[in-house]
Amino acid sequence: MAEFRMPSLGADMEEGILVEWKVKTGDHVKRGDIIAEVETQKGIIEIEVFEDGVVEQILVQPGEKVPVGTALAIIRAEGEEERPETAEAKKTTPSTEEKKAAPEKPKPQPAIKREKRIRISPLARRFAAELAIDLSKVDGTGPDGAINRADVERAAAQAKKPEKHVPEQPPEKKERAAGFHEGIRKAIAAAMARSNREIPHYYLETRIDMSRALKGLEAENRKRSVKERILPAVLLIKAVALALGDVPALNGYWIDGVHRPQEAIHIGFAISLRQGGLVTPAIHHADLKSLDELMEALRDLIIRTRAGRLRSSEMTDSTITITNLGDIGVETVYGVIYPPQVALTGFGRITEQPWVENGMIGIRPVLTATLAGDHRATDGHTGARFLDAINKHLQDWEKL
């Protein structure tokens, strides 16, 4: 028997509002399933469950605001006995909800779902992705029911309409949307103020010759379709992940006066939001992922971040943060550490610069990498080894 609790979705979160249950009593859940949505200052976050089992009891109803740590539901492990009183209660007063739930077939596995291929034109598929249309709900008018662009556009137009008319839409949702930006700003303000107040930062900077890495990447990308191409940012993520393996002291937290390096490397990648503000969701086990997997993870994360559909573990697990402002044209970025992490590494734009090597001057694509370190946890020497390790991994990019 396990309690499913209101998680802490950030260093400064004290309470959260349970917005929606994705499961009901009696549902089977698996570790990693998203079973609830919680509203925090950072927006609505999907919450994963950490045990396999059956939802035995729901303790907090949608709309309730509860402190971090409050039990939200009871999950009974598979094979564990039903609690007698619950079993009893079920028999005597089965709720209508449970009646409905009982005969329901087990939910189809996502893998099976994916196999059902939708007949759709490539253009329509592209449009649907851009407009975030659920293709399973679009009627195709093309040959053999194929979905074409016009069908998607029609579906998009219909999807817009109901929002205006449906009365059961809780009014708070609108407020939430309006307050979203403000919430994010507040969260950033709290975290950054705390960081600046508590963390004695030290800063290091190094210039990295990117010619080998970029040339290699370019050659690799030439073999790929546009969709499969790898962005330079992915090389940087992987290089940081591997460098953390070399210098583990920078990967982890400073909590209650104790430095706690972490074994798993979860890299928080700063993603700016269109409406302002930023979120730094985690790419889990970045050191173990291939470049392709990292690219896929990054793409997925950016889409979900901007759509406001992040998972709880992604909000809390980061062990270090990367901020990459290169695409905006900045050459060097000195970051502010996101507590309780102990380091933040920043990358600027890759620019062509004069570069001296072996007494010869040449023009190379050069990247400025910086490290903001928590001086309570580590010293400049550690940071210097870390930046050096990033450089080495980028020179040896084939092994990334």
Q: Which of 25, 41, 148, 382 is close enough to bind another protein by CB under 8 A?
A: 148
Nearest to 388 by CA among 202, 231, 247, 217: 247
CA angle 276, 317, 400 (to 5 degrees): 90
Q: Which one of 26-34, 145-153, 357-365, 372-380 is the stretch in contact with another protein (CB under 8 A)?
A: 145-153
Which tokens in the block code for residue 216? 């290699």
The residue count for binding another protein (CB under 8 A) is: 13
Q: Which of 150, 157, 189, 255 is close enough to bind another protein by CB under 8 A?
A: 150
Restricting to residues 182-241, name those near another protein by CB under 8 A. Answer: none
Closest separation between CB of residue 143 and another protein, Å?
A: 5
With b meaning 16 or more CB within 10 Å and e meaning fewer, what string describes 50-81? bbebbbbbbbbeeeeebeeebebbbbbeeeee
Q: Which of 149, 304, 306, 392 is close enough to bind another protein by CB under 8 A?
A: 149
Closest separation between CB of residue 129 and another protein, Å?
A: 10
How far is Cα 86 from Cα 92, in angstroms, rounded to an integer?
A: 10
- Toward another protein, which CB reaches closer, 24 or 125? 125
84 touches another protein (CB under 8 A) = no
- Toward another protein, which CB reaches closer, 139 or 357? 139
- Toward another protein, which CB reaches closer, 48 or 151? 151
Nearest to 180 by CA among 268, 275, 300, 272: 275
248 touches another protein (CB under 8 A) = no
Restricting to residues 104-143, name those near another protein by CB under 8 A. Answer: 121-126, 141-143
378 touches another protein (CB under 8 A) = no
Q: x-or-dash pattern for another protein, window 301-330, by CB under 8 A?
A: ------------------------------
- Toward another protein, which CB reaches closer, 45 or 124? 124
How far is Cα 239 from Cα 317, in angstroms, rounded to an integer?
A: 19
How far is Cα 397 from Cα 400, in angstroms, rounded to an integer?
A: 5
What is the residue type of 174? K
- Toward another protein, which CB reaches closer, 17 or 124? 124
State how far the alpha carbon of 89 is from the alpha carbons of 53, 82, 85, in Å.
20, 11, 6
Classify residue 399 by its DSSP letter. Answer: G
Closest separation between CB of residue 133 and another protein, Å?
A: 15
Identify each DSSP E strand in 96-242 by its residue range.
201-209
Please compute Rg for the chain using Cα positions: 24
Closest separation between CB of residue 139 and another protein, Å?
A: 11
- Toward another protein, which CB reaches closer, 100 or 126? 126
CB 83 within 8 A of CB 215: no
Closest separation between CB of residue 398 and another protein, Å?
A: 29
- Toward another protein, which CB reaches closer, 102 or 123? 123
Identify each DSSP E strand in 256-314 by its residue range.
258-261, 267-269, 271-272, 278-279, 282-283, 310-311
Residues that bind another protein (CB under 8 A): 121-126, 141-143, 148-151
